[in-house]
């Protein structure tokens, strides 16, 4: 099966209740980002999207378990500051302690990880077979990459950017052998995006492929509970390099397993979302979606 055929096939069986939900959410987020000062009402937003307010309400409730108003509150700067612990901006240990119970904690226990050896990383994928497939997700089309040791890559693509998305991921491990295998990757996609399938009794196996410094940063990201956030400087302190905030930011940006290794929960010191490899709109969507699950 060709890459284009696989993408078309994956789009016919969406794991979200409505395949257009994320597209609607994306348009709303972008609209509000560009027009944040006027704070458009639900009626105004619905009219611009040629939907009724009732339709928009149902879309957000189905997609995130939140009303549009609650979702919009969840992607504001004020909410980001609350995720960080208001003005205190707690270190990672404090944030971790605040998420020890509830669905958020369950998500953290759901992931079991291991790191490839420095030698394996330096080989840049030589001797490694990576199976991949495209799957619809709550955040657009997801590119799932796995090895025999577990999930190694998770990326996101906007329509028409699928090949560029694959190339972006494949260049990280240029010496690996890549095999299209949607049947092998489908179970991973289903488990990652279905909260009811998050189980500490059956953890999702994840394999981290990166430098020693990158892996330490990514392991710190795994400690951030759902519904919380930390700053880059928090992470730098956590790994014992308090002056390495900029390097931490670079490592966060190179995280190959988006969403599962939650780099979207890393924010600027002020609470600003800063950058995100797969787009700030998607980062806002993830934080809003998680607000409805925590």
Catalytic residue positions, numbered = 263
Calpha distance 266→249 (Å, rounded) = 9
Q: Which residue has the tokens 């619809």?
A: 136
Maximum Cα–Cα distance across the chain: 57
**Burial of 76 per CB tally in 10 Å (0-12, 13-18, 19+):** middle
- CA 111 to chain CA centroid, nearest Å: 14
Is 292 within 8 Å of 62 (Cβ atoms)? no
Which among 264, 139, 128 is positioned nearest to 192, based on CA atoms?
139
- Alpha carbon 101 to chain centroid, angstroms: 21
């Amino acid at each position: 099966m060709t890459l284009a055929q696989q993408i078309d096939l994956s789009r016919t069986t969406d794991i979200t209740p409505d395949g257009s939900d994320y597209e609607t959410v994306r348009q709303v987020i972008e609209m509000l980002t560009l027009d944040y000062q006027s704070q458009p009402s639900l009626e105004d937003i619905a009219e611009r999207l040629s939907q009724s307010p009732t339709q928009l309400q149902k879309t957000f409730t189905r997609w995130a378990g939140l009303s549009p108003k609650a979702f919009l509150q969840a992607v504001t700067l004020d909410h980001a500051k609350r995720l960080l612990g208001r003005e205190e901006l707690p270190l990672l240990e404090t944030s971790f302690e605040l998420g020890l119970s509830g669905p958020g904690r369950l998500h953290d226990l759901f992931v079991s990880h291991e790191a490839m050896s420095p030698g394996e990383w330096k080989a840049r994928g030589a001797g490694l077979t990576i199976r991949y497939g495209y799957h619809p997700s709550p955040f657009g089309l997801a590119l799932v990459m796995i090895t025999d040791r577990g999930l190694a890559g998770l990326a996101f693509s906007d329509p028409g950017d699928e090949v560029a998305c694959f190339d972006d991921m494949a260049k990280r491990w240029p010496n690996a052998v890549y095999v299209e295998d949607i049947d092998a990757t489908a179970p991973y996609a289903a488990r990652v995006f279905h909260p009811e399938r998050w189980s500490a009794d059956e953890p999702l196996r994840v394999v981290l492929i990166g430098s020693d410094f990158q892996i330490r940063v990514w392991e710190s990201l795994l400690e951030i509970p759902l519904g919380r956030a930390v700053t880059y400087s928090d992470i730098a302190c956590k790994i014992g390099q308090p002056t390495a905030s900029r390097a931490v930011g670079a490592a966060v940006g190179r995280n190959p397993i988006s969403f599962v290794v939650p780099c979207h929960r890393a924010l600027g010191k002020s609470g600003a979302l800063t950058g995100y490899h797969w787009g700030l709109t998607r980062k806002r969507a993830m934080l809003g979606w998680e607000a409805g699950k925590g």
